């Protein structure tokens, strides 16, 4: 898996479950953390520019990003009044990506194996290797960057953000900017992993 997790060829995502006006810092044991029952209110997908297709415009606000010299496209959507539509739009993005790839491609989040993936669990099968989930009958695979963070003593996304010099935002006043930052942190972190663990011994140390 390590060799296929290339930072500028990977798709990144983050889902939100709470409404925009909920205080994130008081969410411990909150019902908003029950993604199966409450669904999702928002998402950010960031994908390499070459994976973007015009039909994805229907699924949210599209913006162009340059991160570490690579071109990415961000697709964001928020709709607290119709959470089923949020989910269906997210599936639309996943389907578009899956239909546009010719080789195995990974989509990653942070702690998504235990949380975000639940939104799509009916379409995921764990048939490739540990902690990797295949999306439908495609070459798109979900995996999680949290175990990579654990190997260097990082346990929370805020710690990862500080580590890569892109701090997690501590205000949700701009909800989608908050969501975008959480996702962009993952890009810089995977680039660090690709750069740091470039030797055979280091790659073996990163086996999950």
Domains by residue range for the chain, with CATH: 2-205 (3.30.420)
The tens digit of pLDDT for each residue in 100-117 reads 999 999 999 999 999 999
Specify whether the CB–CB gap between 35 and 115 falls below 8 A: yes
DSSP states along 89-140 = HHHHHHHHHHHH-SS-EEEEESSTTTTGGGGGGGGEEEEEETTEEEETTSSE
Tens-digit pLDDT profile for residues 131-174? 899 999 999 999 999 999 999 999 999 999 999 999 999 888 89
Residue tagged 């990003």 (tokens): 65
pTM listed for this prediction: 0.92
Question: Is the per-residue pLDDT at 73 higher than 80?
Answer: yes
- Please give the mean pLDDT across all residues of the chain: 90
Q: What is the pLDDT of residue 27?
A: 57
Contacts from 167-171 at CB under 8 Å and sequence distance 24+? none
Q: Identify any residues that bridge with 12 across adjacent strands, giving them in sequence order.
A: 46, 108
Closest CA to 94 of 15, 197, 23: 15
Q: If we measure between CA atoms, which residue out of 192, 182, 105 comes closest to residue 152?
A: 192
């Amino acid at each position: 898996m390590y060799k296929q997790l290339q930072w500028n060829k990977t798709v990144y995502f983050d889902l939100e479950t709470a409404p925009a006006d909920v205080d994130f810092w008081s969410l411990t044991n909150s019902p908003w953390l029950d993604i199966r029952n409450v669904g999702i209110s928002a998402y950010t997908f960031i994908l390499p520019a070459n994976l973007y297709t015009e039909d994805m415009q229907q699924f949210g606000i599209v913006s162009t990003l340059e991160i570490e010299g690579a071109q990415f496209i961000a697709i964001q959507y928020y709709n607290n009044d119709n959470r089923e539509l949020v989910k269906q739009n997210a599936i639309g993005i996943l389907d578009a990506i899956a239909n546009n790839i010719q080789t195995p491609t990974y989509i990653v989040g942070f702690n998504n194996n235990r949380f975000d993936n639940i939104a799509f669990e009916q379409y995921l099968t764990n048939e490739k290797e540990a902690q990797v989930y295949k999306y439908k009958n495609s070459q798109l695979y979900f995996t999680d960057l949290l175990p990579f963070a654990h190997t260097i003593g990082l346990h929370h996304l805020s710690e990862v953000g500080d580590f890569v010099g892109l701090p997690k935002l501590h205000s949700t006043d701009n909800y989608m900017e908050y969501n975008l930052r959480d996702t962009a942190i993952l890009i810089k972190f995977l680039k660090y992993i690709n750069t740091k663990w470039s030797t055979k011994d280091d790659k073996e140390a990163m086996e999950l």
